[in-house]
Amino acid sequence: MRIIRCKDYDAMSRKAANIISAQVIMKPNAKLGLATGTTPIGAYQQLIKWYEKDDVDFSQVSTYNLDEYRGLSHEDPQSYHYFMRKNFFDHVNIDLANTHVPDGSNLDADEACASYDELVKSVGYVDLQLLGIGNNGHIGFNEPDEAFSKGTHCVDLTESTIQANSRLFEREEDVPRQAYTMGVQTIMRARSILVIANGEAKAQAVRDMCFGRVTPHVPASILQLHTNCTVIADDAALSLCPEIK
Ligand code: PGA
């Protein structure tokens, strides 16, 4: 695990965007695993700027998002389908037909998850997986548990995740209680992984991810076992990791 410290959110976002754009420049038809949440927005904005300057071309890229709330239509402003269009896809030359997000509008969880799994497997998994990390150490919506998850599955969100995500909804009771998420095993099959984290609220999770025991109680801790995983975090998120200068 490579851990890169930077001073703030903007520096973290630019470094992450650099790595993603390098991937696309090296392999124009790269398969990118993408993430939602507040953390990656700055990286997406930077990529849009470079696209506008003709520095990066997404025309052959395909994308596979980590997760989606169960029960939201693709047009629902709270859905991750909508988030990806608004924050990234609508602003670059990616072919929307090549963008993939688990189908939260399909209430048949078994079918929705199996078909997403089949899709990611059929393309040979992603070249680069971008990840945020939850305050509780989750990746995607893989919450702390007794075992690491495997393929795409339906999860009940924990109280801590519902509360953390409620800031994006009008009322806490509006936060969906379930989501479809790529499993930890699928995430680990990515050829490279890029985790981004900022802010003090993430400091303990980042400490546990990078230096704690590998345990399903901190799903992100398994990333220590990935052979090509980079963490980019700001000073605040690394405040409990003095060994990283
Ligand atoms: P955030 O979420 O980027 O909104 O902090 C990260 C996550 O929960 O994975």
Which tens digit of pLDDT belongs to each residue from 218-234? 999 999 999 999 999 99
Q: CB of 187 within 8 A of CB of 129?
A: yes
Q: Taking 90 as the threshold, does the pLDDT of residue 167 lie above it?
A: no
Q: Taking 90 as the threshold, does the pLDDT of residue 43 lie above it?
A: yes
Instruction: Summarize pLDDT for 108-127 with one digit per residue, the tens.
Output: 999 999 999 999 999 999 99
Question: What φ, ψ does residue 119 adopt, rounded to 5°?
Answer: -60, -50
Average pLDDT, the chain: 96
C-alpha to C-alpha distance for 2 and 205, rounded to whole angstroms: 16
Tokens linked to 207: 């400490």
pLDDT, residue 39, reads 98
Q: Which residue has the tokens 């499993």?
A: 183
Q: Got the DSSP string for 32-55?
A: EEE--SSTTHHHHHHHHHHHHTTS
Q: Which of 13, 39, 84 to mutate to test the pocket of ligand 1 (most atoms within 8 A of CB)?
A: 39
C-alpha to C-alpha distance for 66 and 127, rounded to whole angstroms: 14
Residues 6+ apart with CB under 8 A from 171: none
Q: Which of 133, 181, 231 to mutate to test the pocket of ligand 1 (most atoms within 8 A of CB)?
A: 133
| Complete edge-to-edge strand list for the sheet that includes strand 67-69 | 67-69, 178-181, 153-156
> What's the pTM value of the predicted model, to 2 decimals?
0.96
1 vs 163, more confident:
1
pLDDT, residue 161, reads 85
Q: Taking 90 as the threshold, does the pLDDT of residue 243 lie above it?
A: yes
Tokens linked to 65: 């998002």
Per-residue pLDDT band for 141 (boundaries 50, 70, 90) equals very high
